[in-house]
């Protein structure tokens, strides 16, 4: 069968048109998505930074782009219930998950199988914000530096208690890391977990515990009032707002970077175009002064960045906590 010149020209025109359609695909996607409400599963109750960060960004996106976003709080089992629900949701771009330093960090130190794989089961979108922890002692403790306090523990085994917001929280594991790297046995001090960070700080003020590693925001008023003494922060660098406090790394503790953080992810297999669009608008939100101010109200520094950077961050978090769980014997067999 012969093909005449006219037929060839028609074929060339058809391929050119197809290329044009493909070139318009991203803009067509941007106009069509979302065509119904987007749900963000938050695996913790309303209130606090783990709920506040995705809510603040969602409010910006709704106001700026008119998207309908529903915050779906699925609390239970220290974040496990909601995170598993997110993992099992349809990967169609209409369900996102608010992940954080508990679900994709400290859980790896105490649970060998939390019901999901923090790396394989989720597609990272963006790191919304993070905040360091601070090591605190009661003001009547005769130690003004971390080395002095470790020496005090060595001289007084079993005398001191430490608090946390609960077993397996970052506050608990930060002290476990302190004892491990300080060359101290895990039972040199007694862990007294509370039902939440606020109650743990109350225990510290009351003298039921003598030290803890806490989020900065809820404790700082008591430091300012002279009731508690801050010894160090757990960030990689000193905080601009607390320039006189050394980091744990400065004091010789290796890889001692423990952060409270919040981010957005989607079920694995979510279309790449959806992930890219959410990364774009989330970064747009995080650049806004009002959004950054609201996040600061939850003691979070706005972050942002690429999806690849967030994926690498999560992998580092998981590796750090897995090592801690193995080193300290906290990881379930």
pLDDT single digits (tens) 289-331: 999 999 998 889 999 999 999 999 999 999 888 888 888 888 7
Domain count along the chain:
2
Q: Contacts by 150-159 with C-beta closer than 8 Å and gap 24+?
A: 150/178, 150/182, 150/184, 153/182, 153/184, 153/188, 153/189, 154/184, 154/188, 157/185, 157/188, 158/187, 158/188, 158/189, 158/190, 159/189
214 and 138 together in one domain: yes
CA 114 to chain centre: 17
- In 3D, which of 253, 7, 301 has the Cα closest to residue 146? 253
Give domain status of residue 24, yes or no.
no
Give domain status of residue 82, yes or no.
yes
Overall average pLDDT of the 259-275 stretch:
96
50 and 187 together in one domain: no
Give domain status of residue 174, yes or no.
yes
Q: How far apart are CA 159 and CA 188, in angstroms?
A: 8
Instruction: Give the pLDDT confidence score for residue 268 in this predicted structure.
Output: 98
- In this structure, what token pair is assigned to residue 153? 């523990």
124 and 270 together in one domain: yes
For residue 108, give its domain range: 36-131+260-328
Give domain status of residue 277, yes or no.
yes
Residue 127 has pLDDT above 60, yes or no: yes
Give domain status of residue 27, yes or no.
no
- In this structure, what token pair is assigned to residue 108? 């790896």
Residue indicated by tokens 């990967």? 91
Instruction: Give the pLDDT confidence score for residue 198 in this predicted structure.
Output: 87
Residue 81 has pLDDT above 90, yes or no: yes
Overall average pLDDT of the 197-214 stretch:
95
136 and 229 together in one domain: yes
pTM above 0.85, yes or no: no
Three-class secondary structure of residue 117 per DSSP: coil
136 and 224 together in one domain: yes
Is the four-CA dihedral 298, 300, 305, 307 of positive or negative sign?
negative
pLDDT digits (tens, 9 = 90+) for 87-106: 999 999 999 999 999 899 88
Q: How confident is the prediction for the chain on average, in pLDDT?
A: 88
Residue 3 has pLDDT above 90, yes or no: no
């Amino acid at each position: 069968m012969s093909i005449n010149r006219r037929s060839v020209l028609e074929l060339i025109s058809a391929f050119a048109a197809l290329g044009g359609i493909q070139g318009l695909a991203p803009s067509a996607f941007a106009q069509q998505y979302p065509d119904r409400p987007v749900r963000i599963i938050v695996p913790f109750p309303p209130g606090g930074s783990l709920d506040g960060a995705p809510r603040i960004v969602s409010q910006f996106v709704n106001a700026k782009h008119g998207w309908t976003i529903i915050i779906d709080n699925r609390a239970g089992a220290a974040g496990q219930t909601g995170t598993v629900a997110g993992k099992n949701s349809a990967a169609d771009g209409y369900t996102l998950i608010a992940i954080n330093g508990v679900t994709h960090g400290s859980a790896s130190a105490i649970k060998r199988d939390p019901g999901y794989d923090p790396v394989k089961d989720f597609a990272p979108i963006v790191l919304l914000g993070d905040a360091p922890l601070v090591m605190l002692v009661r003001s009547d403790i005769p130690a003004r530096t971390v080395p002095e306090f470790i020496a005090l523990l060595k001289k007084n085994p079993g005398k001191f208690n430490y608090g946390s917001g609960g077993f397996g929280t970052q506050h608990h594991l930060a002290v476990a890391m302190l004892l491990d790297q300080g060359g101290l046995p895990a039972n040199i001090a007694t862990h007294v977990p509370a039902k939440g960070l606020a109650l743990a700080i109350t225990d510290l003020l009351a003298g039921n515990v003598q030290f803890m590693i806490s989020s900065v925001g809820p404790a700082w008023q008591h430091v300012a009032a002279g009731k508690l003494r801050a010894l160090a922060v757990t960030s990689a660098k000193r905080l601009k707002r607390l320039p006189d406090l050394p980091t744990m790394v400065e004091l010789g503790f290796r890889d001692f970077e423990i952060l409270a953080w919040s981010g957005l992810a989607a079920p694995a297999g979510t279309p790449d175009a959806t992930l890219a669009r959410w990364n774009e608008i989330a970064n747009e939100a995080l650049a806004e002064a009002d959004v950054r101010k609201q996040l600061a109200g939850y003691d979070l520094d706005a972050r942002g960045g690429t999806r690849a950077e967030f994926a690498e961050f999560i992998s580092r978090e998981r590796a750090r906590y897995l090592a801690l769980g193995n080193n300290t014997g906290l990881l379930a067999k």
